Amino acid sequence: MISRRQFVSRAGVLLAAACSNPAGRLVAQAAEQNGGPLISVDAARTTGSLPHFWETAAGSDRTVVGLRQQWREDLVRVHRETGIQSVRCHGLFNDEMGIAASGAGNFNFLYVDQIYDFMLDNGVRPFVELSFMPEAFATSANRIFAYKGNVSPPRNWQDWYDMVRAFTEHCVKRYGTTEVRRWKFEVWNEPNIDFWAGSQEQYFELYKQSALAVKKTDSEIQVGGPSTAQLDWIPELIEYCSANGVPIDFVSTHVYPNDPQKHIFGRDHLYSFEEVIPRGVAQVKHQVEASKMPHLPLWITEWSSQNPAFIADTIKNCIGLTEAMSYWTFSNVFEEGGVPNGIFNSSFGMLDQWGIARPALHAFVMLHKLGESLLQADSGPVLATRRVDSSIAILLWNLIAASEGGALANGNPTGATAGASGSKGLLKRFRLRLAGLEGKRTVKVSQVNGLRGTAIPRWREMDSPKYPSVEQIAELRNAAELPKPEVHRLGPDQAPEFSIEVPPNGLALLEFEH
């Protein structure tokens, strides 16, 4: 195992502390033999802005779980620590929400009010996904997931239109026009695969009816789609809207690192596992720019990984390509496959059952601490930024390629017990050459990796209990938290070079302050 790292301020170097077991010594020796890349950062030179586009939204299970206490606790923490601004949920119109369970014209907004009230009271906006089909409107019994969301087209388009309009009008009446204009209304979820039992032509009609209903309430409320899987249907929807005068304010789609490359790019194995998301997003960006509506904002409303280094690397490589990336999901209160199968299940979430933090949460916490201005830096696994208070935040990561460590450990979105803790590969030493640090007197060092910011090692020491006791849960919660940053003074004659060792698929944050 890799031991805790200590910062040696006198030498200006982050070095491995003495390891107490052979495995730790071997990893440290390998890093010594490999040396490490030199990355130069000029803290006095900015190269552009860094909008925190990854904080714009996060995903959730179906809407009704917003009534659960654990979901609510998770939402409050994720918003407070990562800056997430809105939440996107499936199943707004499922019968369990009651909105149209009694049929056309008999709408009930009790549950949606309770959920949206809570979100807004805690600083988070709804990202409204208009799905799925109320049973009273449905043309068939095509259903998806354990909660049986109906995915068929409506028998009567007017019923769908009236419901969407009534819902939108209710939101405006309850929360005000100014507030609702700041939301996004997205039509359906992944209609190009099993989430829609109709054709593409029928989806376009669904989109039109939805967009017209929203705009009838207020023309400035933002509506978009097609919310497709695997980056599909973007040129087609834009062409449809352009040709038919249908309003559209943004386009949205989804991409995961394990999506089929032949479908997305036309050829299998064209890119590495780590390149699929940024290459795919760039491809869709070019499709929008080549369309009749070249300035439409692009939203990636689903993507995921449980690997801190993969998360940081993906976000860096998507800078400038998209207005938003909505991580799927923030909470493990998630029942697409039914009731989760115990703790540390293979499902989505920045947090696990009982609100236990995963490394993914800590990755987003560190990303949130980055500044709003990019600094001049060499290429590589680094994001160097300046904050508004002039302090410097630098993020470094050691991403092990899936070809070396395996897809589960290196980005698979449901690898909850993999990610950093299941990683193969060598510890990496980074050498930093820093200029422009005038006036900075301290550096704070934080890391998340296979030993820090994860409860998995402690859970395994407990013999991996499926249903841990109350005492064990408290211990696991504590084990999952990051230790306080190590704070070190920089002397007046501090050398401008530092080095830091980052374990496989780990992430390190350096904060230079006055």
Note the pLDDT tens digit of each residue in 72-129.
999 999 999 999 999 999 999 999 999 999 999 999 999 999 999 999 999 999 999 9
- Confidence band of 441 (pLDDT split at 50, 70, 90): confident
Tokens of 352: 């696990």
Residue 356 domain-assigned (yes or no):
no
* Residue 190 appears among annotated catalytic residues: yes
- pTM of the predicted model, to two decimals? 0.91
User: Structurally, how many domains does the chain consist of?
Assistant: 2
Q: Is residue 354 part of a domain?
A: no
Q: Count CA within 13 A, CB hemisphere, residue 167.
A: 25
Which of 289, 318, 338 finishes a domain? Answer: 338
Q: Domain check: are 417 and 481 in the same one? A: yes
Q: What is the DSSP string of 63-86?
A: GGGGGSHHHHHHHHHHHHHH---E
Looking at the fold, whether 112 and 249 belong to one and the same domain comes out as yes
- Give the pLDDT confidence score for residue 408 in this predicted structure: 54
Given 55, 129, 186, 190, the catalytic residue: 190
Pair (26, 91) in one structural domain: no
- Together in a domain, 187 and 274: yes
CATH of the domain at 305: 3.20.20.80
Residues 302 and 401 in one domain: no
Mean pLDDT of the chain: 89
Q: Is residue 351 part of a domain?
A: no
Do 413 and 448 lie in one domain? The reply is yes
* Helix ranges (DSSP H) in 357-469: 359-368, 402-405, 456-461
Catalytic residue among 205, 302, 501, 511, which? 302
- Examine the domain organization and report whether 26 and 120 are in the same domain: no
Q: Which of these three, 317, 338, 359, is where a domain ends?
A: 338
Q: Give a yes or no: residue 320 inside a domain.
A: yes
12 and 89, same structural domain? no
Pick from 303, 283, 236: nearest CA to 57? 303
User: Of the candidates 171, 182, 63, 159, which has an alpha carbon nearest to the alpha carbon of residue 109?
Assistant: 171
In the DSSP assignment, the letter for residue 197 is -
Q: Is the pLDDT assigned to residue 3 strictly greater than 50?
A: no
> Which residue in 491, 222, 455 sits closest to 360, CA to CA?
455
Distance in angstroms (rounded) separating the CA atoms of residues 367 and 446: 12
At 365, the amino acid letter reads V
Give the structural domain span for 437.
5-50+373-513
Q: Are residues 57 and 44 in the same domain?
A: no
- Check if 501 is active-site: no
- In a domain, residue 131? The reply is yes
Q: Averaging pLDDT over each range in 37-41, 101-105, 200-204, which range is the top one?
A: 200-204
The residues with which 58 forms a beta bridge, in sequence order, are: 87, 327
In a domain, 321, yes or no: yes
Q: Are residues 40 and 156 in the same domain?
A: no
Per the domain annotation, does 360 fall within a domain?
no
One DSSP character per residue, 257-321 reads: TTS-HHHHHSSTT-S-GGGHHHHHHHHHHHHHHTSSSTT--EEEEEE--S-HHHHHHHHHHTTTT
Alpha-carbon distance of 200 to 99, in angstroms, equals 26
The answer to whether the beta carbons of residues 502 and 430 sit under 8 Å apart is: yes
Burial of 336 (0-12, 13-18, 19+ CB in 10 A): middle
**Co-location of 464 and 320 in the same domain:** no
H/E segment holding residue 174: helix 157-175
Q: Assess if residue 348 is contained within a domain.
A: no
Measured CA to CA, the distance from residue 314 to residue 316 in angstroms comes to: 5
Question: Under the phi-then-psi rule, with left for phi > 0, alpha for psi from -120 to 50, and beta for the rest, what region is 402?
Answer: alpha
Task: Tell me 484's DSSP state.
Answer: P
Would you say residue 479 has pLDDT above 90?
yes
Same domain, 39 and 83: no
Q: Which residues contact 398 (CB under 8 A, 6 or more apart)?
A: 309, 381, 425, 427, 428, 502, 503, 504, 505, 506
Mean pLDDT check: name the lowest of 3-17, 180-194, 200-214, 415-429: 3-17
